[in-house]
């Protein structure tokens, strides 16, 4: 990401429902930048009409952003937004990647990018499964409101014996660590990892999942979980999620700065060779 652009976007992300107006000092602290740098950014955005400086010397977002927000395509859906990210995750992991959503008491597969490997997890577009087993279901359950969770479980666990206290502890752990993981829970021999996707209202109605043979996934489960969490935040960012659930632009800029600050590899000094004596013509005696 171009550093100047990333810094400007970080200014926008500093505002939220609890911080509708901010002083220059507040902005500098929230985006973790020097006050002088923040002043230059804010001054530029104010002149461009994206920020307004009020009488109390605080800044707020302008209605110009509302106009731009209204231009967002109404037909742009979650599948269009998620698919490029899913393709990248599939390329990195070589495993099956699915986009799932909540439909009633079921989990439905909205989009699939299959693994190129012959031994693979099969997922069918439009497939419905009860919201109970597997990481793909449990990451969605973990972010439900209590009333909705109770209603779903009443339907999906009818006649099923399970330890409810252990189940609740598992959901709490999934929320805290940012991903769910299950091994052979729905299909023996398969491991699934799933992360939440947050929308503009901070709700989770979709999840991004990786599934594959346990013999391949288990040795790399933590690496895959990290890749998925970054991807989930990426999709959440594209859906307009708050900075709490979106990509950290400051971290992205730190990566750029680190790359720019990294010294170029020094060329090996040229190898010195001993100078060869100059050949002179033999003297002819007079």
User: pLDDT tens for residues 42-56?
Assistant: 999 998 888 989 889
Identify the band that residue 59 occupies on the pLDDT scale cut at 50, 70 and 90. Answer: very high
CA–CA gap between residue 247 and residue 234 (Å, rounded): 6
> Within 10 A of 209 (CB to CB), how many other CB atoms are there?
29
pLDDT of residue 283: 42
pLDDT at 259: 44
At residue 40, does pLDDT exceed 80? yes
Does residue 284 register a pLDDT over 80?
no
Q: What is the pLDDT of residue 17?
A: 80
Q: Report DSSP letters for 96-116, one per residue.
A: EEEEEEEETTEEEEEEEE--S
Interval 143-169 mean pLDDT: 93
Nearest-CA neighbor of 92 among 187, 248, 214, 220?
220
- Is the pLDDT confidence value at 263 over 90? no
| Cα 160 to Cα 170: distance, rounded to the nearest angstrom | 17
Q: Mean of the pLDDT values across residues 60-70? A: 80
pLDDT at residue number 182: 95
Give pLDDT, residue 155.
92
Q: Which whole number is the average pLDDT over 100-128?
A: 90
pLDDT at 265: 46
What average pLDDT does the chain have? 84
Q: Quickly state the pLDDT bin for 233 (edges 50, 70, 90).
A: very high
Q: Worst-scoring range by mean pLDDT, 42-51, 57-66, 212-221, 260-269? A: 260-269
pLDDT at 14: 86
Write down the pLDDT at residue 118.
87
Percentage of the chain lying above the pLDDT 70 cut: 83
d(CA 194, CA 95): 13
Cα(97)–Cα(186) distance, rounded to whole angstroms? 16
Residue 266 has pLDDT above 60, yes or no: no
| Predicted pLDDT at 147 | 95
Strand, coil or helix: 196: strand
Q: How confident is the model at residue 246 (pLDDT cuts 50, 70, 90)?
A: low
Average pLDDT of span 121-126: 84
Q: Which residues of 90-108 are buried (b: 16+ CB within 10 A; e: fewer)?
A: beebebbbbbbbbeeebbb
**pLDDT score, position 139:** 96
Chain position carrying tokens 């104010």:
46
Q: pTM to 2 decimals? A: 0.70
């Amino acid at each position: 990401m171009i550093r100047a652009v990333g810094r400007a976007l970080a200014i926008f992300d500093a505002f939220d429902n609890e911080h509708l107006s901010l002083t220059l000092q507040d902005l500098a602290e929230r985006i973790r930048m020097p006050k002088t740098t923040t002043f230059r950014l804010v001054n530029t955005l104010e002149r461009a009409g994206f920020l307004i400086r009020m009488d109390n010397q605080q800044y707020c977002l302008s209605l110009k952003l509302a106009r731009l927000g209204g231009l967002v395509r109404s037909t742009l859906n979650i599948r269009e937004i998620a698919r490029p990210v899913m393709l990248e995750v599939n390329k990195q992991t070589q495993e099956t990647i699915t986009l799932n959503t909540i439909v009633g008491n079921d989990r439905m597969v909205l989009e699939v990018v299959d693994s190129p490997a012959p031994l693979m997890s099969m997922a069918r577009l439009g497939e419905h499964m009860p919201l109970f087993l597997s990481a793909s279901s449990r990451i969605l359950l973990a972010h439900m409101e209590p009333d909705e969770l109770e209603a779903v479980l009443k339907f999906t666990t009818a006649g099923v014996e399970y330890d409810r206290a252990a189940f609740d502890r598992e959901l709490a752990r999934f929320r805290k660590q940012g991903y769910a993981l299950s091994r052979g829970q729905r299909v023996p021999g398969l491991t699934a990892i799933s992360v939440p996707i947050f929308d503009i209202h901070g709700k989770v109605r979709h999840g991004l999942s990786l599934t594959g043979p346990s013999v391949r996934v288990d040795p790399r489960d933590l690496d895959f979980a990290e890749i998925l969490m970054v991807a989930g935040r990426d999709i959440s960012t594209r859906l307009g999620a708050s900075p709490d659930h979106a990509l950290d632009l400051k971290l992205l800029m730190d990566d750029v700065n680190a790359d720019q600050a990294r010294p170029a590899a020094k060329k090996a000094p040229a190898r010195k060779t001993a100078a060869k004596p100059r050949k002179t013509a033999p003297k002819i005696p007079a």
